[in-house]
Amino acid sequence: MKNHLTEDDLILHYYGELAGHDEAIVAAHLGACKDCQKDFRQLQRVLAAVDESAFAGPELPEHFERTVWARLEPNLRRDRSGWLSWFVFSPGRLAWVSLVLVLVTAAFVAGRLSPRTGTPDAGAGADPTTAQIRERILLINVSDHLEQSQMVLIELLSGDDQQPISFAGERTRAGELVAANRLYRLAATAPADAGIASLLDDLEPVLIDIAASPENVSSQELDELRRRIESKSLLFKVRVVSQDVRQRQRTSVRERAGQRSSL
């Protein structure tokens, strides 16, 4: 080979990715060409530096494992119980799922029965009925979720801080709320849901911390947790967003009632 090796050749050679004949040519050239040897050694040094660094990534907090478990455990429990018991053990969830089914069925029937006017607009994007149903379901669930979260926060903020506090109840509830919080946060994608998403974003680490805390917390640990909640005015935000969600639910109900009466 008269020409020098390309950088690509050197990279493939470094990783042992050249096939028999090509590898033999590159190896022979490297054996004879000082310039290419120099280039190859430089490449080796750079990639060795990457090896040595092992690209550690960000520092993880001391309680990292606890937070992983706090998020994971509710999903494992659900997994173990099977999907049916997820509903059986929770009449509330069963009610929500029933409501979703009723809404979807109602939307389908309304779509079939309502008179069709004009031609459909191909560029209109998503079906507004679907978007409205999605919004209604999200608001119903978020409203319930925020109410439960609010109760956990209130109990935590108003407890007696002179004694070591048994945390079992709050922890279990917070553990159950973590998975739901995450689900609703991911579902709150519409521009109107930005406030909800932001609140759920702030709420999630606090719920995870509560779920991952020991059974009996000392007053110092409790103070620390309270400071975190208060520093973000979390309870206040939960109340404000809850009110906003309820208001949106009322508006949505009125709009639907208006639509029905105009038919």
Partner 1 sequence: MSTDRPNLTGAGNPRLTNRMPQTDAATVALARDGNSEAFRALVERHSRAVYRLAHRMTGNPSDAEDVVQETFLKAYRQLGRFESRANFGTWLHRIAVNCSIDLIRSRPHREAAHDAADLEEIGTPGTQDTTQRTPERLMLSTEVQDRITEAMSTLSQRERAAFVLRHFEGHSIDDISRSLGLKANATKHSIFRAVRKMRAALEPFVASE
Which positions lie near partner 1, rule CB under 8 A? 7-8, 11-12, 15, 17, 38, 41-43, 45-47, 49-58, 60, 63-66, 68-73, 75-77, 79-80, 168, 171-172, 175, 211-215
Identity of the residue, 55 or 116, whose beta carbon is nearer to partner 1 in the bound complex: 55
Identity of the residue, 139 or 175, whose beta carbon is nearer to partner 1 in the bound complex: 175
Identity of the residue, 57 or 191, whose beta carbon is nearer to partner 1 in the bound complex: 57
Would you list the DSSP string of 9-74? HHHHHHTT---HHHHHHHHHHHHH-HHHHHHHHHHHHHHHHHHHHTT--SPPPTTHHHHHHHHHHH
Identity of the residue, 53 or 162, whose beta carbon is nearer to partner 1 in the bound complex: 53
CA-closest candidate to residue 20, choices 147, 12, 119: 12
Identity of the residue, 50 or 84, whose beta carbon is nearer to partner 1 in the bound complex: 50
Burial class (CB in 10 A: 0-12, 13-18, 19+), 191: exposed
CB of 129 to partner 1, least distance (A): 27
CB of 143 to partner 1, least distance (A): 26
Identity of the residue, 65 or 223, whose beta carbon is nearer to partner 1 in the bound complex: 65
Residue 115 host element (H or E): none
CB of 8 to partner 1, least distance (A): 5
Measured CA to CA, the distance from residue 174 to residue 217 in angstroms comes to: 15
Do the Cβ atoms of 71 and 179 come closer than 8 Å?
A: yes
Measured CA to CA, the distance from residue 78 to residue 89 in angstroms comes to: 10
CB of 172 to partner 1, least distance (A): 6
CB of 57 to partner 1, least distance (A): 4
Identity of the residue, 62 or 121, whose beta carbon is nearer to partner 1 in the bound complex: 62
CB of 122 to partner 1, least distance (A): 23
Measured CA to CA, the distance from residue 48 to residue 135 in angstroms comes to: 53
Residue 217 host element (H or E): strand 216-217
CB of 242 to partner 1, least distance (A): 26
CA-closest candidate to residue 245, choices 152, 137, 98, 99: 137
